Structure 1
């Protein structure tokens, strides 16, 4: 059985859980609390010298890191990834958009709001992160006005990649009200068979989020 080493509140880790649940593929979840330094231990660094979750560990001992690379590996040969060359490229385009134009702002705003102290100097970054988040969400909104999905006309791993942090953008103070097409897409993803939601933040993170301007 494959093992996923991940931190449950992380959207990047939850991507893999969502896909595996929807595939009906058995897996073992190994909780690694990156907020408490557990990705910096010698044991974890032996799995991923970059010291980040998620990491997938195959039955033969091979490991793979980077959430979207793992999504691509797991989805290959399934309905979640087209076997058409052009459609695969479209899917990868949106997955790269997620990693370079979306996740660095939407996810980081969420992290700062819920996992840093209220007096952290990093909180000064929030206005800029929210501005850049809205720029990414507007790109998604424009696409979704004419398309139901991001994975070349079907629900697939580009949707899973983009859904994870978009659905909880509000934790970072990023309001989704201006994006009706995007909110409809979020609802479609939630309605897909086997869907599982990202866990709610624990009490400490939830309190920090509630107090973040």
Structure 2
């Protein structure tokens, strides 16, 4: 059985939880508290030398890390990952977008606000996150005004990757009322068979 090392409040970890539920796979969850330094112990660093969650332990004892890489592994051969090269590349395109243009701002703003309680020393960073996070949301909105999902009309791991932090973006101060395409998309994702919420 797969083992998942993660934090239920982490969007990156939620990606893996949601994927496993959509697939209907059984797994064991091992809670990790990043605020208590759990990811920096010798035991955890043996699983992921980069000291980050999530980590998935496969049945043969090997470990996978980086949430989007894990998504690709889990989705391989399923309806959640297109086989046609152009579409598969578009999935990767959105996953890279999530890690470089979305998560560093939407997720970080959420961390500053929810986990840290808005410390004054991070106020300037938080404001930068707001500006750049809204830029990323506008990119998503443009696509979702044109198609039901991020890669055309087929729900895929591109949607899972970006749903994870977008659906809790309000916890980082982002008002999604100006993004009707995103709001409709969030609803469509939550209606997928096997869907499970973050908590």
**TM-score between both structures, scaled by the size of structure 1:** 0.91
Q: Aligned to 2:175, what secondary structure does the other structure show?
A: coil
Aligned to 2:108: 108
| Distance (Å, rounded) in 1 between the aligned partners of 2:87 and 2:119 | 46
Aligned to 1:47: 47
Q: Aligned to 2:5, what secondary structure does the other structure show?
A: strand
Aligned to 1:209: none
Contact 1:90-1:152 at 8 Å conserved across structures: no
| Distance (Å, rounded) in 1 between the aligned partners of 2:34 and 2:57 | 17
Aligned to 1:178: 178
Aligned to 2:20: 20
Write the deviation string for residues 83-136 of structure 1: whole angstroms up to 9, x where unpaired. 111110011001110010000000000000011144351233111101101000
Write the deviation string for residues 190-212 of structure 1: whole angstroms up to 9, x where unpaired. 1111111112xxxxxxxxxxxxx
Task: Count residues in correspondence.
Answer: 199
| Distance (Å, rounded) in 2 between the aligned partners of 1:195 and 1:151 | 19
Work out whether 1:155 is the aligned partner of 2:128.
no
**TM-score between both structures, scaled by the size of structure 2:** 0.97
Q: Aligned to 1:47, what secondary structure does the other structure show?
A: coil
Q: Aligned to 1:64, what secondary structure does the other structure show?
A: strand
Q: Give the RMSD, CA atoms, in angstroms.
A: 1.0
| Distance (Å, rounded) in 2 between the aligned partners of 1:197 and 1:64 | 23
Runs of 4+ in 1 over 3 A off after TM superposition: 117-120
Aligned to 1:190: 190
Write the deviation string for residues 43-84 of structure 1: whole angstroms up to 9, x where unpaired. 000000100000010011111100000000000000100111
Q: Aligned to 2:3, what secondary structure does the other structure show?
A: strand
Q: Which runs of 5+ in 1 are unaligned?
A: 200-213
| Distance (Å, rounded) in 1 between the aligned partners of 2:45 and 2:120 | 27
Q: Aligned to 1:21, what secondary structure does the other structure show?
A: helix
| Distance (Å, rounded) in 1 between the aligned partners of 2:102 and 2:79 | 25
The aligned runs of 1:72-151 (5 Å cut-off) are: 72-151=72-151
Contact 2:112-2:119 at 8 Å conserved across structures: no
Aligned to 2:32: 32
Q: Aligned to 2:177, what secondary structure does the other structure show?
A: coil
